[in-house]
Amino acid sequence: MVGLGRFIVKLLPIAPKFIVKRIAGRYVAGSNLHSAISLMKKMDKENTCFTIDVLGEEIKTLDEARFFVEEYSRVLDEIISHDIDANISLKPTAFGLLLDKNIAIQNIEEILNKAALSDIFVRLDMEDHRVTQATIDIVLLMQERGFENIGTVLQGRLFRTGEDIKNITKSLGSFSDFRICKGIYLEPNEISHTGYQDIVNATNDCIDLMLESDSYTAIASHDYPIINHSLKKLENMKMYPDNDSRPNSIGPRKGKGLGYEFQFLLGVRGDLRRELASKGHLTRVYVPYGTKWYEYGVRRIRENPDIAWHVTKTLLMPWTNRR
């Protein structure tokens, strides 16, 4: 069915927007905050928690950055007023990182400060290699300013990531809080692995390093070789949903697992997520919403033509659609 999926991907640019909207609907909560809140409430029985992402990345003016500050501020208000088990994920370039670093830092600090008042965690998503160091620097700076509710994402495919883990954990010790993923950006081969197996191996090495260095480790992958490796490593380290045996780990924190969690994109491998949750592992769903749903949905479908086929099947046979 990959061939059919590729064919569907080719048709995307000429497909009516309402069709793409149906397709994107699997990966995006909707175009506004209200839709994200309703979706999370609907998923209440799934024994999972959430991270909310306002869609949009690199911006052209600092006014656009203000939009994101205000929108994330509303997100925090809604998490609190609806008592939802969620934290937030934000993209530093949407806060102005590539326009004015100092303003971006102020913007991020404003949101971090508001989140800290309610003990809500803030994850800086990792974008392409132009901002890897700047994103890490912001996390280190914010921790230096006393915020413990911040962490970033590292990408297994980048050659530099092993060193980044060592440097961050050297500065932050067990307050290091990572999301580890393969990395969505296709980076040049001078700085990153490009083959599937190399990326899986490198990502698994990063997971080991994070767990061994007492960091909180959020494993963000739908790929069995990564999930199975993580489960085995956790068992070897005697880390269980109700017991983190590492002597230097920081212990229970609001809305977090004991030392680790598994993260999934909305609409992807819900069956695997539910299986992990049924075994007691903390799972989290990444819930994007916003008016940029079209760009995000198309990107998700392009990433994986197989999905185009699954989603088409879902449209024709809606009963097969299980988030």
- Residues that are catalytic: 125, 179
- DSSP string covering 149-209: SEEEEEETTBTTHHHHHHHHHHHHGGG-EEEEE--SS---TTTB--SHHHHHHHHHHHHHH
Residue 229: closest CA among 252, 203, 253 = 203
Candidates 63-71, 92-100, 166-174, 176-184; binding stretch for ligand FAD (CB under 6 A):
176-184
Candidates 15-23, 34-42, 180-188, 234-242; binding stretch for ligand FAD (CB under 6 A):
180-188
Q: d(Cα 220, Cα 301) in Å, to the nearest integer?
A: 18
CB 282 within 8 A of CB 256: yes
Q: Which of 184, 231, 237, 277 binds ligand FAD (CB under 6 A)?
A: 184
Smallest distance, Å, CB 185 to ligand FAD?
A: 5
- Taking residues 194 to 233 in sequence order and writing x for each that binds ligand FAD by CB under 6 A, - otherwise, the string is --------------------------xxxx--x-------
Smallest distance, Å, CB 269 to ligand FAD?
A: 5
Q: Which of 30, 96, 151, 183 binds ligand FAD (CB under 6 A)?
A: 183
Residue 307, interface with ligand FAD (CB under 6 A)? yes
The amino acid sitting at 301 is I
Largest CA distance in the chain: 57
Q: Which is nearer to ligand FAD, 69 or 268 (CB)?
A: 268
Query: Within 13 Å of residue 4, how many CA atoms lie on the same side as its CB?
Result: 8
Task: Give the CA angle between residues 231, 210, 122 to the nearest 5°.
Answer: 100
Q: Which of 268, 276, 282, 308 binds ligand FAD (CB under 6 A)?
A: 268
Q: Which is nearer to ligand FAD, 151 or 259 (CB)?
A: 151
CB 111 within 8 A of CB 145: no
Smallest distance, Å, CB 42 to ligand FAD?
A: 19
17-24 helix and 305-316 helix, angle to the nearest 10 degrees: 100
Residue 181, interface with ligand FAD (CB under 6 A)? yes
Q: Which is nearer to ligand FAD, 246 or 321 (CB)?
A: 321
- Spell out where the chain has E strands: 49-54, 86-90, 122-124, 150-155, 177-181, 216-220, 239-240, 243-244, 260-265, 283-289
Q: Which is nearer to ligand FAD, 8 or 126 (CB)?
A: 126
Q: Which is nearer to ligand FAD, 286 or 289 (CB)?
A: 286
Residue 158, interface with ligand FAD (CB under 6 A)? no
62-82 helix and 33-42 helix, angle to the nearest 10 degrees: 30
Candidates 40-48, 63-71, 301-309, 314-322; binding stretch for ligand FAD (CB under 6 A):
301-309
Dihedral, 216, 299, 5, 186 alpha carbons, nearest 10? -70
Q: Which residues bind ligand FAD (CB under 6 A)?
A: 125-126, 153, 155, 181-185, 220-223, 226, 263-265, 268-269, 286, 300, 303-304, 307
